[in-house]
Amino acid sequence: MCIMTEPAITQDLISSHGINADEYQRILDIIGREPSFTELGIFSAMWNEHCSYKSSKKWLRSLPTTGPQVICGPGENAGIVDIGDGQALVFKMESHNHPSYIEPYQGAATGVGGILRDVFTMGARPIAAMNSLSFGSPDHRKTRQLVHGVVSGVGGYGNCFGVPTVGGEVRFDTAYDGNCLVNAFAAGLADTDKIFYSAASGVGMPVVYLGAKTGRDGVGGATMASAEFDDTIEDKRPTVQVGDPFTEKRLMEATLELMATGAVISIQDMGAAGLTCSAVEMGDKGNLGVRLDLGKVPTREHAMTAYEMMLSESQERMLMVLRPELEAQAKAVFDKWDLDFAIVGETIAEDRFLIMHNGELKADLPLKALSGNAPEYDRPWIETPAVTPLSDVPGIDPIDGLNALISSPNYASKAWVYEQYDTMVMGDSARTPGLGSGIVRIHGTDKAVAFTSDVTPRYVKANPYEGGKQAVAEAYRNLCAVGALPLATTDNLNFGNPEKPEIMGQFVGALRGIGEAVAALDMPIVSGNVSLYNETDGVGILPTPTIGAVGLLTHTDQIIGKEVREGHVALVLGTTEGHLGQSALLLEVFGRRDGDAPHVDLALEKAHGTFIRENRELIKACTDLSDGGLALAAFELAEEAGVGVILDSGDTQTLFGEDQARYLIACNFDQAEALMVNAQNAGLHLESVGKFGGDQISFGGVKAPLAEMSATYRGAFEKTFA
């Protein structure tokens, strides 16, 4: 028999596990001795940035996370909000950035798989998915491969699993050349009295391993995701997990069936740091210890070590604490679905994490120290300096300006992407990707839920506070524009190296803005993820705090459509001052990144959103004004409906300014008159800016055929990447 000898604990080995000198000393102080190799791996897995949030915890605590609609806030696998009638929406967004850059298909696929498990682990059946993707410059040597790999991975996993992708965003910027972002969102439906949590309870209860077998894929994945990239990136390929959506589908059905038996005390999916993290989190939340016997863990590779089994991130696995009297019923469910069911340990009264393998004690650690007592840093930070005010922007031919936007992969139609996703599976999609929020009907009811994902990284870079506010405000507007009442948010906070005070300053500023906005707009943060160290060779990404948001429609009749017709009046709610700082026009036409982000007036955002929802019966179509201003919003509405649009103004600032708290409304003449009266009574600014009709795009008398512009808009992305 081959006896594996564990490596000696050297300084190089400690450093390769992402543990600094102070942290190693802390480990020595906690356990009173040198750790074994397996113990070092366990500390590395639990104390890395990805799992412990050690650089961000202090600031995350400042976020508003409660409200009458909130059933469960941050700290569980996913957040939960009440949607009435004894039903709850379970949702979360999470990053898989580092794995997706190393191995695009599997990195993106397992990102989707992980977020789906987070949802059904809590007893919810997934009903919708979204993704927010950020890539480098379209002409960068690696971008094409990443776009193809990531989009295929997202579609490949989600389509096979059978959940509709109803929204998302795709952006390009040279700041992501060395580090793409893949943020995956999933939402599921559960009965409020059938929600499952991860806190273990009861001493001597069986700890059960469920799902697929454990292999060597993904070992060290969480630690890898907590480090910058350099020229050794190819060496990190083995740290990327491999997914199997068909197994995951069986796992979901088996898990939901198991939950119905009453056998589950607590349950946790195995995501980052695999068996280690899931066991520790269940024990920590239940104030219990855990003993594991790795000889009982189902494996698919020969002679796996304790270290490998504890740190493997093989996919499609769960860990649960079982009611022992129902073991036979529980096992029968997993046998039926041809999945592993193995009792691999038990809960214990002592604060210990004990790992046995082949009769040998491989780890004996205080469990609390791994989770609740992980390091917490108050990183030094500096305020992002105020930017220089915007210098003059030359006026531009309005059609040329629009052409520049719609021929850029940033603002062209993303049909090439979302047509690779199944958007209609389950048969309840009421609004699929393409324009504004996605909408899914709640099966068997009159209700529907709307979903959106938003951030403008340029704004956050220029002014983290206003940029953070804007990300939330845009999500709020996107939900209101389809008639939904915004309920809550999930955040995916993607930043560079937090050890750099200027990067930490971006993080702090953005969180202040996000916190203020979610409080003002009644959209508490109920779940989320922090992804730091998104850097390559010392160059960080644009700060990208993605906001995923959900809204409720109590009846599908409340949905505001996008059906623009010949003769509809075009109205803008909100004042246009023509803010061009950090605008899409400035970047795409002039190659400039100067000026400040637009100011966000949260009271006005709320007032305007409320006005849209309260007057939905008078509105035929609606969209918010954001990137590209009025020009792009009017074009997108018109193009979607196959109708021309005539805007009165040809002024560059009026057309392309990105002032916030604005909506474009299309409706009949008599409805427009009624809206004007209602806006006046509410003290809000509503003005007519043109009309829809014909077959031309006409801005201030400058015209171009709709068909020609539409061909550019629909073909630019595919032309770049197909």
H runs (alpha helix) in 182-273: 221-224, 245-260
Q: For a pLDDT cut of 90, what percent of the chain falls above it?
A: 92
Q: How confident is the model at residue 449 (pLDDT cuts 50, 70, 90)?
A: very high
What pairing do the DSSP bridges indicate for beta strands 621-624 and 485-494? unpaired
Handedness of CA 308, 310, 315, 318 (dihedral sign): positive
Can you give 373-424 as a three-state secondary structure string?
A: CCCCCCCCCCCCCCCCCCCCCCCCCHHHHHHHHHCCCCCCCCHHHHCCCCCC
Identify the H or E element spanning 546.
Answer: strand 544-553
Catalytic residue ranges: 50, 96
- Return the structure tokens found at 58: 């202090």
The full length of the chain comes to 722
Query: What integer pLDDT is reported at residue 1 of this predicted model?
Result: 34
Instruction: Report the C-alpha gap between 189 and 119 in whole angstroms.
Output: 9
> What letter would DSSP give residue 62?
T
Query: What integer pLDDT is reported at residue 272 of this predicted model?
Result: 79
Beta-bridge partner residues of 454: 547
CB 574, CB 685: distance < 8 Å: yes
pLDDT tens track for 177-221:
999 999 999 999 999 999 999 999 999 999 999 999 999 887 865
Q: How confident is the model at residue 4 (pLDDT cuts 50, 70, 90)?
A: low
Q: How confident is the model at residue 227 (pLDDT cuts 50, 70, 90)?
A: low
Cα dist. 341→121, 265, 333, 334 in Å?
A: 16, 16, 9, 6
Would the pTM count as exceeding 0.85?
yes
Please provide the average confidence, as pLDDT, over all residues in the chain.
Answer: 95
Query: What integer pLDDT is reported at residue 2 of this predicted model?
Result: 42
Query: What integer pLDDT is reported at residue 302 of this predicted model?
Result: 92
pLDDT tens track for 338-394:
999 999 999 999 999 999 999 999 999 999 999 877 899 999 999 999 999 999 999
Q: How confident is the model at residue 273 (pLDDT cuts 50, 70, 90)?
A: confident
Beta-bridge partner residues of 131: 168, 184
Beta-bridge partner residues of 688: 571
pLDDT tens track for 613-641:
999 999 999 999 999 999 999 999 999 99
Query: What integer pLDDT is reported at residue 278 of this predicted model?
Result: 94
Instruction: Tell the residue number behind the tokens 């700890």, with chain if given.
Output: 207
